[in-house]
Amino acid sequence: MELRLTKRIGDENTLIIEFGGRVRALSSTITAGGFRELTHVVFHRVEPDFDDPNPVGYAERLLERLELPLRSSAVFLTAVDVVREHVEMWIHSPIKMMVMASVGFTPPISIGVEEPGGRAATINILLFVDKPLRDSAFIDLAEVVSGAKTLALVDLALSRGYNLGRVYATATDAIVIASSMDEVDEAPYGGPATPVGSEAAKLVYEAIISKGIESLGMDERFSDIFGVDMEWIRDAASNIYRRAPIPGLSEDGVKREVEAELKSLLRDPNIWAIALAARNLDWHGLSGALPGLSRKEYLGDSKRILADELLGITLALYINGWRALFAYYWIDSNKGELRELRDKPMFIDDILASLIGSILSRIYDRHLGDGR
């Protein structure tokens, strides 16, 4: 069976997938949900602040306007530009399969966070398998798709603030798993050990990772990995600078220099690598999964742990040698008095102290005539 993709002329907010044959599907969409035969899948862009109290009615009115059948048309709603920014990936061996997705990363969901907030960009995934599947295989594939999506989000290091854990989904994610139909040769399983499950996992993972790398800007990546935004670094460095100002260099001036230094440093993947190591350690500590360290000890900032300071030392020496190291030590020893660092997690607070100290040390070098 051949799948053809049609984009309706004149509707820049809607992408229509039409199946050229009989297709059975398992869907979590607001229309045509559950097990049923499908003729169409619709990706439709809504406004970022979309809050229609009856999204099913909205989707049905959309289908009526598009002159598509209500019962056999699944509708995805998202704030992503579905026409220009959707992801489409195919494989043809050992089984012909296709993933089409609209990938947005808001509103993000972490375990234990009840209020997602943010615009409805969401992750919508259509997986088409050109092979008939039994019900059990559909359910297996739903698990595979969900697991691959979560792994991709973890590898993109998405998070909600510095102490809320990793993002594993967005609030309104949806899937459609569709397969060709036949009286014989139905695949009984679709789990990760099967060819169809293994290839589906690769397609979904690569689709989300590729879109994340393409669409997430430096500010978003910085916030996810460092737990604060770049403006926080600038302001915190400026506040610390007040304790030892350079004659003739105003706070506004130092803010500009901090911002320039930070942007320069963030062109170096080694800076990101050290910060990401600390961020992952905080996630493991918060979950209680760091071997030999209980969650209670982690939350109490156990004195048994030296790895946080070792990471801070490594970052400082890499950025500006001994000068940066001394600046980091000074900030780290005064963390109790610095409100900027007082409430930050065990590992990332040393990275932040080291980064700020290193940047300030470079600024002092330049203005005090000892630059390199």
Is residue 101 located within the same domain as residue 208? Answer: yes
Give the CATH number, domain containing residue 90. 3.60.70
For residue 372, being part of any structural domain is answered with no
Is residue 310 located within the same domain as residue 169? Answer: no
Show which of 182, 198, 216 is a domain's final residue. Answer: 216
pLDDT digits (tens, 9 = 90+) for 251-307: 999 999 999 999 999 999 999 999 999 999 999 998 999 999 999 999 998 999 999
Show which of 199, 216, 233 is a domain's final residue. Answer: 216
Is residue 91 located within the same domain as residue 156? Answer: yes
For residue 244, being part of any structural domain is answered with yes
CA-based torsion, 53, 56, 57, 58: positive or negative = positive
pLDDT digits (tens, 9 = 90+) for 190-228: 999 999 999 999 999 999 999 999 999 999 999 999 999
Is residue 111 located within the same domain as residue 56? Answer: yes
Show which of 167, 198, 216 is a domain's final residue. Answer: 216
Instruction: Provide the domain limits for residue 301.
Output: 219-367
pLDDT digits (tens, 9 = 90+) for 74-126: 999 999 999 999 999 999 888 889 999 999 998 888 887 655 555 678 999 99
Distance CA 334, CA 339 (A): 10
The residues near 266 (Cβ < 8 Å, ≥ 6 apart) are 218, 222, 272
- Give the DSSP per-residue string, 232-264: HHHHHHHHHHTTSPPTT--HHHHHHHHHHHHHH
The answer to whether the CB of 174 falls within 8 A of the CB of 32 is no
Is residue 210 located within the same domain as residue 228? Answer: no
Is residue 119 located within the same domain as residue 107? Answer: yes
Is residue 297 located within the same domain as residue 355? Answer: yes
The two beta strands, 34-45 and 73-78, are: parallel
pLDDT reported for residue 115 = 59
- Give the DSSP per-residue string, 53-85: S-HHHHHHHHHHHHT--STTEEEEEESS-HHHH
104-113, 165-174, 185-194, range with the lowest pLDDT: 104-113
Is residue 194 located within the same domain as residue 264? Answer: no
The closest of 111, 125, 122, 45 to 83, measured between CA atoms, is 45
Is residue 105 located within the same domain as residue 134? Answer: yes
Is residue 234 located within the same domain as residue 205? Answer: no
Give the CATH number, domain containing residue 358. 1.10.3760.10
Distance CA 239, CA 221 (A): 24
pLDDT digits (tens, 9 = 90+) for 14-57: 999 998 777 999 999 999 999 999 999 999 999 988 889 999 99
The answer to whether the CB of 196 falls within 8 A of the CB of 129 is yes
DSSP 8-state secondary structure symbol assigned to residue 192: T
For residue 156, being part of any structural domain is answered with yes
Distance CA 109, CA 267 (A): 29
To 5 degrees, how large is the angle CA 329–CA 332–CA 337?
Answer: 130
Residue whose structure tokens are 């630059």: 371
pLDDT reported for residue 358 = 98
Is residue 189 located within the same domain as residue 173? Answer: yes
The closest of 201, 197, 215, 199 to 158, measured between CA atoms, is 215
Distance CA 103, CA 341 (A): 34
Neighbours of 208 (CB within 10 A): 25
Please state the pTM of the whole predicted model. Answer: 0.91
The answer to whether the CB of 218 falls within 8 A of the CB of 266 is yes
Is residue 67 located within the same domain as residue 184? Answer: yes
pLDDT reported for residue 335 = 80
Whether pLDDT at 10 is above 50: no
For residue 186, being part of any structural domain is answered with yes
Q: How confident is the model at residue 372 (pLDDT cuts 50, 70, 90)?
A: very low
9-13, 37-41, 158-162, 251-255, range with the lowest pLDDT: 9-13
For residue 109, being part of any structural domain is answered with yes
The closest of 312, 270, 157 to 223, measured between CA atoms, is 157
The residues with which 12 forms a beta bridge, in sequence order, are none
Number of domains present in the structure of the chain: 2
